[in-house]
Copies of this chain bind each other. A is one copy, B any other.
Amino acid sequence: MDQRVKKKATIYDLSVLSGSSPSTVSAVLNGTWRKRRIKESTAQTILGLAELHQYTTNLQARGLRRSRSGLVGLMLPVHDNRYFSSMAQTFEGHVRSRGQCPVVVSASRDPEEERRTAETLISYSIDQLFIVGATDPDGVHEVCELAGLRHINIDLPGAKAHSVISDNYQGARMLTEAIIRHFGNDDPLRPDELFLFGGRNDHASRERIAAFHATKKALLGADPDDGVQSSGYSPDITLRAFEAFYQCRGKLPRALFINSSINMEGLLRFMAGRPAEMFSELVVGCYDYDPFGSFLPFPVIMVRQNVEAMITKAFELIDEPPTAPQTFLIAPELVQPRSALKGPLDTLKDTD
């Protein structure tokens, strides 16, 4: 009597089996049956049959009819990075707890790809879109707007939709200050010994660089204007920046402000193959937190962005009625060297 690879049961199958009409079956199965004054006993019969035949709703059909899908999208620049992957992890938890289905995709920081990706998701009638670290948030906005899709920017702000971002200026200020203070008074850091590597021409980098300059000036009294080496968000370009620097000056600075963990990987590549002692005096500040990064052989002061708070705030905003686009700053946290913080995985149980 069992189905082998038989087609899945539909409300029409259950309709025949139960003797009720498809609409009644539908109402029973989607929970609106009380409102439709379906008899309790009828409902029970149908629910029993549904169970028996392993009925599951065809969500494409429902989505088509309702013109929303129950899918909630998260668009990341990339997956393979602890900042963004913790974003995904946190996001999933929130979406799941709302009974919807998370869909996480990446768009490679490519404006064109970002728009295409948004369009694809829209074609599936996703209900909401969380846009993380987009290179062109406003381009994505256009696409969403046209489709009437609720959306919100995270990590990098746009001008046309609400944004929830890290307080980059404060974070970078704290970080720069912590780097400088790390050198105490015996052998204080000189202005020309602290350099910033990484970042590109986006809002986050600009803020961080501004704070870096301001803090250097405030604490060290001066700020040579060659202190910043942009190198995009690419380990290899960052590597080349370090190599160029080293080539040119014969040594690395005593202290580094590194714009993101991705850029930090460029430093790793620079370290690879070179003697460890070369880096024994180095002090690094990194705008991003990576647990392994925190335990490198030299002091690494990190900034952890408050992903949980950002996602929470984003969910609040996205449900709200639309008002003039605003940007909300979430305070990040300074992380001392050799710290292993809890992350989103810690809420998962692992019983063995």
With A103-B105, A350-B233 as contacts: A61 and B64 at CB distance below 8 Å: yes
A343 at the A/B interface (Cβ < 8 Å)? yes
A58 at the A/B interface (Cβ < 8 Å)? yes
Residue of B nearest to A91 (CB): B79
Stretch at the interface among A12-20, A82-90, A170-178, A326-334: A82-90
With A64-B64, A125-B58 as contacts: A271 and B5 at CB distance below 8 Å: no
Chain B positions within 8 Å of A22 at CB level = none
Interface string of A126-155 (1 = CB under 8 A from B): 000000000000000000011110000000
A179 at the A/B interface (Cβ < 8 Å)? no
Say whether B295 contacts A236, CB under 8 Å.
no
Say whether A346 contacts B85, CB under 8 Å.
no
Say whether B80 contacts A344, CB under 8 Å.
yes
Say whether A58 contacts B296, CB under 8 Å.
no
Say whether A352 contacts B232, CB under 8 Å.
yes
Stretch at the interface among A116-124, A157-165, A213-221: A116-124
Residue of B nearest to A300 (CB): B292
Chain B positions within 8 Å of A258 at CB level = none
A interface, how many residues as a size bin? 35 or more
With A78-B348, A340-B235, A346-B236 as contacts: A56 and B92 at CB distance below 8 Å: no
Tallying the copies of this chain within the complex gives 2
Chain B positions within 8 Å of A63 at CB level = 60
A253 at the A/B interface (Cβ < 8 Å)? no
Say whether A58 contacts B64, CB under 8 Å.
yes
A313 at the A/B interface (Cβ < 8 Å)? no
**A198 CB to closest chain B CB, in angstroms?**
10
A101 at the A/B interface (Cβ < 8 Å)? yes
Contact of A85 among B58, B61, B81, B109 (CB under 8 A): B81
A248 at the A/B interface (Cβ < 8 Å)? no
**A105 CB to closest chain B CB, in angstroms?**
6
Chain B positions within 8 Å of A69 at CB level = 60, 124
Say whether B147 contacts A80, CB under 8 Å.
no
Say whether B352 contacts A268, CB under 8 Å.
no
A106 at the A/B interface (Cβ < 8 Å)? yes
Say whether B59 contacts A345, CB under 8 Å.
no
A45 at the A/B interface (Cβ < 8 Å)? no
Q: How far is the CA of A272 from the CA of B341 in the complex (A)?
A: 9
Q: How far is the CA of A121 from the CA of B124 in the complex (A)?
A: 13
- A residues near B (Cβ < 8 Å) are 3, 5, 8, 54, 56-61, 63-64, 69, 71, 78-82, 84-86, 88-89, 92, 101-106, 108-109, 119-125, 145-148, 200-201, 230-237, 262, 264-265, 268-269, 271-273, 276, 290-297, 338-340, 342-346, 348-352
CB-based closest 10 A-B pairs: A292-B292, A234-B350, A268-B340, A232-B352, A200-B352, A232-B350, A79-B88, A297-B297, A59-B123, A269-B340
Contacts A/B (CB < 8 Å), 10 sampled? A5-B148, A58-B64, A79-B104, A101-B121, A101-B124, A102-B105, A109-B348, A233-B350, A272-B339, A276-B338
Task: Known pairs A57-B123, A232-B351; list 10 more (Cβ under 8 Å).
Answer: A59-B123, A60-B64, A60-B123, A60-B125, A78-B89, A78-B348, A80-B89, A102-B105, A268-B292, A295-B297
